[in-house]
Structure 1
Amino acid sequence: MSVLIVIPARYASTRYPAKPLAMLTGAQGDQRSLIERSWRAACEVQGADRVVVATDDARIQDAAEAFGAEVVMTSESCANGTERCAEAHAALGGSYEIVVNLQGDAPLTPHWFVEDLVTGLRAAPDAEIATPVLRCDGATLNSFLSDRKAGRVGGTTSVFDAQRHAMYFSKEVVPFTSETYADEDETPVFHHVGVYAYRPDALAAYPSWPVGPLEQLEGLEQLRFMENGRSVLCVEVEAKGRQFWELNNPEDVPKIEAMMAQMGLA
Structure 2
Amino acid sequence: MTKKYFFFDIDGTLTDRKTNKIVPSAQLALDKLQEAGHFVAIATGRAHYKSIHFMKEVGLHNMVCCGGGGLVINDKLVRNLPLDLEKAKALIKEADEHGIGVLLQLNDSIDVYAKNDLFRQQVGERKEPTRYYIDPKMDYDKLDIIYKLYLSVLPEQEKDLKLLNTIGHIRFEPEYLIFQYDAKHQGILDMMERLHGKIEDVVVFGDDTNDIVMFDPRWTSIAMGNACDALKEKASIVTDANVDNGIYNICEKKGWFNKI
TM-score by structure 1 length? 0.31
TM-score by structure 2 length? 0.31
